[in-house]
Amino acid sequence: MRTINNQYYPETVTHPGITLSERLNELGMGSKEFAVRTGKPEKTISHILSGEGSITPEMAVMFEDVLQIPANFWLNRQKQYNEAIARQKRKEDLVAAVEWSKQFPYSDMARLGWVKVTRHPEEKVSNLFQYFSIATPKAFEDYYFRQKLKVRFRISLARTKKPFAFAAWLRQGEIKANEMKALPYDARKFESSLFEIKNLMVSHPDDFFQQLQSICMEAGVKVVYTPCLPGASAHGSTRWLGDNPLIQLSARYKQNDIFWFTFFHEAAHILKHGKKFVTLESVNFSPEDKEKEEEANQFAIEWTFSSDQEKEVLAQACLTEESIVAFSKKFNTHPAMIIGRLHHKEIVHYSVGRKFIKPIDLSEN
């Protein structure tokens, strides 16, 4: 037997024609007589008795009068049989999709609690179907690769190196976002909230992520955390779910400087590029999209540690940890944003100023 959502499904269910045959034998009635009494063609009755035909509601009511067995009995028997046949076919579909399921990092998804732990191949397929809310591998490919629903998903993951892992990561973002109830999106409110969010970046309290989520939710923006999957390393992604924008962050490398830069980068896409633009690293962008990515980078730079501020820092003859702290206070930014930029541009060695980089752990979010 199989159990799904606490429901029991017998392995075998006999066709109602067998029960009909037994009842006719009890009554000593042949199929021809029964056909005459019900007003149905003998061929129709023969098909039911042989398991080739189905009992319709009209027939069930007629059978009730002739056999003194309620119509709902025959309808339930037919329904149970039809479902059993469909589930048998579904079982065959699951077996056929086992190779498809092997393309997902299932064990990593299970470790993160995204799907149930199992060693049975067919159960893995079923769990993946439920996870993605799809019924077949073709449906998965139509949605994530062929963009059959462009109003919901506007990029093709077929252009990524690990499309199945990226799809799983993106889907987890949708699942988390759908659990959140947000106000209608307010662009002006979201833009003005960036000043409050920047102050949050500067102070970086222990509960910074919860505060960030709360601030964004007030403006109708959903922010979720989902860790990376092997082979699908992305700092973040932005897309719209219905009327609310979603910022999905991975906290890759678990550093506050990278986290905050990524957030402001994704915020730029929401404010500047509209519903039709979907961001995801490792996708081969068009020239127009690359311009938008660069625009988002510049937006994040200006909000975290601007180009002019960087020039001022580099103009100092001798940079010390004390001067980095002084500059961070002057520019109202976190020291990690300054030292992180200098690390990224290889202006200073990665060992310098490491104490300013704050580790972040969002595993409980």
Task: State whether 166 and 182 are in the same domain.
Answer: no
Q: By CB neighbour count within 10 A (0-12 exposed, 13-18 middle, 19+ buried), where does 3 fall?
A: exposed
362 lies in some domain: no
Which of 284, 303, 322 is the endpoint of a domain?
Answer: 303
For residue 281, being part of any structural domain is answered with yes
Within-domain flag for 78 = yes
What HEC string does 18-54 produce? HHHHHHHHHHCCCHHHHHHHHCCCHHHHHHHHCCCCC
Structural domain boundaries, residue 317: 307-356
> Do 234 and 168 fall into the same domain?
no
Query: 305-338 pLDDT, tens per residue?
Result: 999 999 999 998 788 899 999 999 999 999 999 9
In this structure, the answer to whether residues 28 and 58 fall within a common structural domain is yes
Are 39 and 91 in the same domain?
Answer: yes
Assess if residue 256 is contained within a domain: yes
- Is 352 part of a structural domain of the chain? yes
Q: Which amino acid is at 173?
A: G
Domain count, the chain: 4
Concatenating the DSSP letter of every residue in 106-133 gives HHHHHHTTSS-----HHHHHHHHHHHHT
- The pLDDT, as a whole number, for residue 285 is 59
Per-chain mean pLDDT for the chain: 90
For residue 128, which of 120, 88, 7 has the smallest C-alpha distance?
Answer: 120
Residue 76 shares a structural domain with residue 11: yes
| pTM reported for the whole predicted model | 0.83
Question: Is the model's pLDDT at 8 over the cut of 50?
Answer: no
Domain final residue pick, 96, 127, 144: 96
Q: Does the structure show a pLDDT above 50 at 4?
A: no
Residue 23's CB is within 10 A of a number of other CB atoms, namely: 16
Residue 62 has pLDDT above 90, yes or no: yes
Comparison of pLDDT for 154 and 185, the residue scoring more? 185
pLDDT at 83 over 70: yes
Please indicate, yes or no, whether residues 131 and 26 belong to a single structural domain of this protein. Answer: no
Element counts in the chain: helices (H) and strands (E) = 17, 6
Q: Is residue 144 part of a domain?
A: yes
pLDDT at position 1 is 32
Instruction: Say what the pLDDT of residue 154 is.
Output: 54
- Do 186 and 284 fall within a single domain? yes
Q: Identify whether 333 is part of a domain.
A: yes
Is 363 part of a structural domain of the chain? no
